[in-house]
Homo-oligomer: A and B are copies of this chain.
């Protein structure tokens, strides 16, 4: 595709570096911005740059934060005895949106992945182990995606957490999603959901 202007071309190239945005979509977005008020573009550009350069992370749980301590860690009403370990900030947002969890978090910042060269030392694991002694932590929930890398990370963590026998370790329940059809579930999920069946209250 040839562009009538270098400026357009640059904008398209930069936009199409984003995941899920190809050159056609990038061109559509660029021409949209060109038609809209100049303010639309300036506030977009400013919001992105500000977000990237001014963002800080909570010193306790490594969640995104505008302050040294994130809103969840600073909230005295939350259960600081329960720590949910997640790989990513996205997961914190997803769990928060359920409205079902009142504890605090610990964001690992990824999962162990030898292929991508991510080892345990690249993740926020040490800071989790430091958090536990002399704290009120009673339970650690490993809420890591059940992929190969995620399971490896969970396994590594649960071995590390054996140091603290007073802390209970749990993982999020696996099984058939709500509204999911049994016949479309993969065999491993369906098999595990039978093995780990839940007894109904009488």
Contact = CB atoms under 8 A, between A and B. Distances in A.
B89 A54 contact: no
A8 B97 contact: no
A40 interface: yes
B4 A48 contact: no
Interface residues of A, number: 58
A50 B4 contact: no
Interface in A10-45: 10-11, 13-15, 17-21, 25, 27-34, 38, 40-45
Interface of A: 1-8, 10-11, 13-15, 17-21, 25, 27-34, 38, 40-55, 63-66, 70-72, 88-90, 92-93, 96-97
Contact of A10 (B2, B7, B50): B50
Contacts of A21: 29
14 contacts: A2-B93, A4-B92, A4-B93, A5-B55, A7-B54, A8-B51, A11-B50, A17-B44, A18-B44, A20-B28, A30-B48, A31-B88, A34-B52, A45-B45
How many copies make up the complex?
A: 2
Contact of A65 (B5, B11, B40): B5
Contact of A51 (B11, B65, B66, B92): B11
Contacts of A28: 19-20, 90
A48 B27 contact: no
